[in-house]
Structure 1
């Protein structure tokens, strides 16, 4: 492809719903077993927060194998906090995803997972996606809605350039946040020092 194309998501990857609640009937909060990623585990930065993961017993692995994740998969919340999504990293491979998530498995010969997660989190695209959600007490998305979503797909070379540029921006944001956190932690000490200095003078 030499220019951007508008392509339905169904032609760029496979969209799969999470397991039904009955299949996750042995989900627990203990430290043992296979982690299951749920909507609360998806962060605003499109990553997976592993601190509060729930798990299923290891013997359920075969029974739930079709819901196993691979690096490069994208998880999208389908019920509740719509619009939240995350890119699955290598460390999450073989984990499972919960019933309130949809899994997108990109076809890498057409679209980079990193590009697709950035595209799906782009505010105008989010508005389109959420505008197509199924209304109700708890609005929801389903595989049909996502499959029909049009994606602007530039050539892979351009996708790589976009991903690299965004990665550079993200690294700068991270540095600024770390600096702000350090200053916030130092603030009480600085205030105390200023008070003591004022008393001595």
Structure 2
């Protein structure tokens, strides 16, 4: 478990096409996601100096200041990127706990509440490595972890299908109204 580099070390952030992406709290979009649309980058020379803050596939990033509880599972496409100062990196011991299971566990509402209770109270609530180590983690057998991951992946897939359908219907609604109310030749009255 390691906190991100100080803001001073990552101070040369830019939005250009060159450099190494830096993942920060707004980029964490769920237990399994990193939103890459707004990523800022640091020059390669700066990233080389921050090598100890790179991520590997299977790492988890947790927001440690501000919007506590947000987290993201790092995929292979993010390997080698840097994580920002407001994040904690967890590198699960894969012989004991699967990264997908840990991400799912840490995003479970009762666990999220426990995380918030561990936060150090201040103007901006925060977590650190020491307080996060106090969190008890239920670690079932590898087979059970796989079962949990598979079952929830099926549910997540169904949710995504229904969300797409709902979005399409929402987009279709105004066109159906226009066609049914006005037809091909609308008549306007005042």
Residue 154 of structure 1 aligns to a residue whose secondary structure is coil
Number of equivalenced pairs: 186
Q: Does 1:117 align with 2:103?
A: yes
Bigger shift: residues 178-187 or 73-82: 178-187
Q: Does 1:64 align with 2:64?
A: no
Root-mean-square deviation over aligned CA pairs: 1.4
Counterpart in the other structure of 2:23? 37
CA–CA separation in structure 2 for the residues paired with 1:181 and 1:44? 20
Counterpart in the other structure of 2:150? 164
Q: 1:96 to 1:61 in 2, by over 3 A?
A: same
Q: Does 1:19 align with 2:5?
A: yes
CA–CA separation in structure 2 for the residues paired with 1:199 and 1:76? 56
CA contact (8 A) 1:39 1:100 kept: yes
Q: Does 1:179 align with 2:162?
A: no
Moved over 3 A (4+): 197-200
CA–CA separation in structure 2 for the residues paired with 1:123 and 1:64? 33
1:86-143 deviations in whole A, cap 9, x for unaligned? 1011110000100000000001000000000111111111111110100111010000
Among candidates 34, 48, 62, match of residue 34 of structure 2: 48
Report the TM-score, using the length of structure 1 for normalisation: 0.89
Q: 1:88 to 1:175 in 2, by over 3 A?
A: same
Structure 1 unaligned runs (5+)?
Answer: 1-14
Report the TM-score, using the length of structure 2 for normalisation: 0.94
CA–CA separation in structure 1 for the residues paired with 2:77 and 2:153? 19
Residue 135 of structure 1 aligns to a residue whose secondary structure is coil
Give the Å deviation of 1:188: 1.1
Could you say which structure has the higher strand fraction? 1
CA–CA separation in structure 2 for the residues paired with 1:61 and 1:82? 26
Give the Å deviation of 1:181: 0.9
Give the Å deviation of 1:168: 0.4
